[in-house]
């Protein structure tokens, strides 16, 4: 399993090469609660990619509940973005409604 680190700065290369629906991502981001800053982690399947607003939507089942996370790629709160798994031809739609 090949883990790739993606730089968030260069958006054109990210969209063309790395970010596709059907990939599994590992994301670290800053979570702001009242007066605290915490680093939070999330692993999920990329359900949709929106190029106009530079967002991706991740989905995961945690304790039998479906959790969706909307991530802005140009956000300063996003620390790290890694691809854990790539699917070649299994998922070809832009939005995955059935998975």
Furthest-apart CA atoms within the chain: distance in Å: 45
Q: Is residue 64 part of a domain?
A: yes
Q: Is residue 22 part of a domain?
A: yes
Total tally of structural domains belonging to the chain: 1
Residue 40: band (very low, low, confident or very high) from pLDDT cuts 50, 70, 90: very high
Decide if 5 contacts 18 (C-beta within 8 A): no
pLDDT value at 8 more than 50:
no
Alpha-helix runs per DSSP H in the chain: 11-13
CATH number at residue 20: 2.30.30.790
Q: State the pTM of this model.
A: 0.72
Range in 43-47, 75-79, 92-96 the model is least confident about: 92-96
Q: Is residue 90 part of a domain?
A: no
Query: How many alpha carbons fall within 13 Å on the CB side of residue 31?
Result: 9
Q: pLDDT value at position 52?
A: 83
Of 39, 19, 28, the residue nearest 83 (C-alpha): 19
Range in 12-21, 37-46, 50-59 the model is least confident about: 12-21
How far apart are alpha carbons 35 and 27 in whole angstroms? 22
Q: Is residue 95 part of a domain?
A: no
Q: Is residue 92 part of a domain?
A: no
Its domain, for residue 69, covers 4-85
Q: Is residue 98 part of a domain?
A: no
């Amino acid at each position: 399993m090949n883990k790739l680190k993606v730089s968030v700065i260069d958006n054109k290369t990210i969209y063309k090469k790395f970010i596709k629906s059907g990939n599994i991502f590992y994301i670290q981001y800053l979570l702001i609660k009242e007066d605290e800053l915490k680093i939070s982690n999330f692993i999920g399947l990329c359900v949709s990619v929106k190029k106009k607003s530079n967002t991706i939507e991740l989905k995961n089942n945690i304790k039998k509940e479906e959790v969706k996370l909307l991530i802005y790629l140009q956000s300063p709160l996003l620390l790290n973005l890694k691809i854990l798994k790539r699917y070649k031809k299994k998922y070809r739609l832009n939005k995955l409604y059935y998975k």
